[in-house]
């Protein structure tokens, strides 16, 4: 390495250090300003992949910190999912209820779908009344709201009455605007590309 090259790299490293020092000051100030500790409502919506898997990633995060978790799946596929098989190992830590019977186009039975959604919400309310449960996941709840199988106003009022430190994650396409309005963190998962469209099947481990 010539002396000139070495000087250039030293200058680059120093510019990087100064830029990161300034960035740290800004970020530290933002962190200091965000000091509230309170149970939040997280909504994962949109047509892209990652809505339910992100909720299950938060489940193991919470378990890693010793929190108890409750899960209600409002739609159950034909196959048992990897997350259900795996979390079934920890009955003391995770209470897992898969109440729905399948996608609306599988059941083709509106009255039965409504009945199942209402049963699922009864279980959901038991979690929302239990301050021992630190995180609850309502997987595909948005679908039940979108089809009006459940009353959005009633669901929101139950959500807002939960214990103050309890976190809730709600997933599914088409989250209703009233739910987005009361949520703390909302992410829209957008499809940039999807393997399924390229003829690749939904595979164990990544999709279910």
**According to CB under 8 A, which residues from 36 to 55 bind its own copies?**
36-38, 40, 42-46, 48-55
CA 19 to chain centroid: 34
The interface with its own copies within residues 170-199 (CB under 8 A) comprises 180, 183-199
Backbone angles phi, psi at 70, to 5 degrees: -120, 135
Nearest distance, CB of residue 99 and its own copies, angstroms: 19
- Which two three-digit tokens encode residue 51? 């809505």
Please answer whether residues 55 and 171 qualify as being in contact, where contact means their C-beta atoms are separated by less than 8 angstroms: yes
Nearest distance, CB of residue 136 and its own copies, angstroms: 11
Backbone angles phi, psi at 91, to 5 degrees: -60, -20
Binding mask 110-129 for its own copies (x = CB under 8 A): xx------------------
Residue from the set 1, 2, 153, 205 that interacts with its own copies by CB under 8 A:
205
Binding mask 74-113 for its own copies (x = CB under 8 A): -------xxxxxxx----------------xxxxxxxx--
Please answer whether residues 146 and 173 qualify as being in contact, where contact means their C-beta atoms are separated by less than 8 angstroms: yes
Size of the site for its own copies (CB under 8 A): 87
User: Is residue 167 close enough to count as binding its own copies by CB under 8 A?
Assistant: yes
How many residues in total does the chain contain?
A: 208
Other beta carbons less than 10 A from residue 35's beta carbon: 6
- Is the Cβ of residue 155 or residue 175 nearer to its own copies in the bound state? 175
Closest CA to 175 of 16, 47, 20, 87: 47
Nearest distance, CB of residue 42 and its own copies, angstroms: 6
Dihedral-angle region of residue 130 (phi above 0 means left; psi in -120 to 50 means alpha; beta otherwise): beta
Closest CA to 41 of 189, 191, 178: 178
The interface with its own copies within residues 13-32 (CB under 8 A) comprises 13, 16-17, 20-21, 23-24, 27, 30-31
Per CB under 8 A, which region of 57-65, 70-78, 118-126, 153-161 contacts its own copies? 57-65
The interface with its own copies within residues 136-165 (CB under 8 A) comprises none
């Amino acid at each position: 390495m010539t002396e000139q090259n070495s000087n250039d790299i030293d200058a680059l490293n120093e510019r990087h250090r100064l830029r990161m020092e300034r960035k740290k000051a800004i970020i530290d100030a933002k962190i200091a300003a965000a000091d509230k500790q309170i149970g939040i409502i997280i909504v994962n919506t949109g047509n892209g992949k990652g809505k339910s898997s992100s909720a299950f990633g938060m489940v193991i995060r919470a378990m890693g910190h010793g929190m108890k978790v409750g899960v209600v799946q409002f739609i159950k596929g034909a196959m048992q999912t990897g997350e259900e098989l795996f979390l079934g190992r920890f009955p003391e830590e995770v209470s897992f209820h898969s109440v729905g019977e399948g996608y609306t186009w599988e059941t083709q039975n509106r009255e039965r779908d409504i009945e199942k959604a209402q049963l699922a919400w009864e279980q959901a309310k038991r979690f929302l009344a239990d301050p021992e449960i630190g995180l609850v996941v309502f997987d595909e709840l948005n679908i039940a709201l979108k089809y009006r199988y459940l009353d959005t106003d009633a669901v929101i009022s139950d959500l807002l009455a939960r214990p103050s430190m309890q976190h809730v994650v709600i997933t599914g396409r088409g989250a209703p605007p009233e739910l987005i309005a009361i949520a703390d963190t909302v992410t829209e998962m957008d499809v940039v590309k999807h393997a399924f469209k390229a003829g690749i099947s939904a595979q164990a481990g990544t999709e279910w």
